[in-house]
Amino acid sequence: MNSISRFFWFCSGTHLSTLEKHPTEHNKYIGIGATIFFTGLFAALSGGYAMYFVFKGGDFAWLFAIIFGIIWGLAIFNMDRYIVSSINKNATTSKQVWQATPRILLAIMIGIVISRPLELKIFDKEIKERLNVSYLNGQRSKIDTLNKAFDKKYTIEIGKLNDAKAQRDSLAAGIKADRQKLNFEIFGNKTTETSGIMGYGPYAKRKEAELKQREQNLDTLASDVRQLEKFVDGRKQFDGLMNEKLYTTKQLDSLSNIAGFADRNWALGQLSFNVDGTRDLNTSLAVTFIGLLFIFFECLPVFVKLMSSRGPYDHSVENIEISQVHLSDKEREFEVEVADGIHETRVSTEIEKRKEQIRTKAYKELHGED
């Protein structure tokens, strides 16, 4: 337990030997350190999850995700530790708030970065469903675009095919109606267009001959339609239209499983809206509050440090800092005095040396020596 307490003290950025002297402050800094540690842990999970989608599909995607997650978590942990430890509890309340303001803004930015990948994991099922809808709509739009381009490219051929089909259908309907009239004539059914006399008479024979001729024309027209359809189908096969089909459920699930970070992030943003474009308030609030929760969790170490009262540990730290500043000033004064003494000694030594040189020179000139 002592090792765990010291670890969380380290996480809080305290001076361990000083904190050990103040038992009443131990739990406070254990709480601050634990908050910083778990923030770094969440950052590691978030960064690793995000990086997994960057390298997804590769042989070592999991390894890259673990390595990046550890590095990212340590970076956030170190930054949070510095942010909290740099708040001076010995300053006034307004000064503490002023010191914490840029750190809170930085914590908010870090919280936003951390929360997004974790939100992707929380709404994983809904994201996959939205991606399936998006991929299906995209494939349907692609097929529609290809069909429109094909119709524009082969407007004449498709027009001929449609006209031939219309003529074939019209001729087939006319033959069917005339065949019924012929049967009425043969079996003696009285209508406005039949005689009502049973038997295979001249009128029936003439009608049957006309029907056979029209049936031959229908066969010829149907053959033309088949040739045109074969040509159009061949062009569709050549242009790739026959290979484009709507995705099956299995294919959609496979595509959503290998979707990258950008697609999943887009789908998460789309969860706030219904398919018809109206805003889905419930989902939007859920996504927003989860993001705010992680942002608050990232800012929590700073808030805890600000809300905590000035304790004996802070007073001891202030005394240590004052003592160190005073000692540093005294060391500076000592170094200055030593430097001044050395300088005076050097100056006096140099003066005596030059005086001796002048006396020697004057003596030589007086006695005429070179």
Q: State residue 70's pLDDT score.
A: 92
Q: How far apart are the first and last CA of the chain?
A: 90
Q: How far is CA 212 from the centre of its chain?
A: 71
The tens digit of pLDDT for each residue in 84-106 reads 887 777 777 777 778 778 777 87
- In this structure, are residues 299 and 10 in contact, taking their beta carbons and an 8 Å threshold? no
**Residue 137 to residue 131: CA distance in whole angstroms:** 10
Q: What SS3 class is residue 273?
A: strand
Q: State residue 202's pLDDT score.
A: 65
- Cα distances from 91 to residues 156, 196, 316, in angstroms, run 86, 118, 14
- Tokens representing residue 145 in the block: 């675009």
Q: Residue holding tokens 């007073």?
A: 315
pTM of the model: 0.56
Q: State residue 220's pLDDT score.
A: 84
Residues of the chain with pLDDT under 50: none
Q: State residue 252's pLDDT score.
A: 79
H/E run at residue 81: helix 61-85
**Residue 27 to residue 30: CA distance in whole angstroms:** 5
H/E run at residue 275: none
- In this structure, are residues 53 and 20 in contact, taking their beta carbons and an 8 Å threshold? no
The tens digit of pLDDT for each residue in 65-85 reads 899 889 988 988 888 888 888
The CA angle 204-206-209, to the nearest 5 degrees, is: 110
Which runs of E-coded beta strand occur in the chain? Answer: none
CB neighbourhood size of 310 (10 A): 13
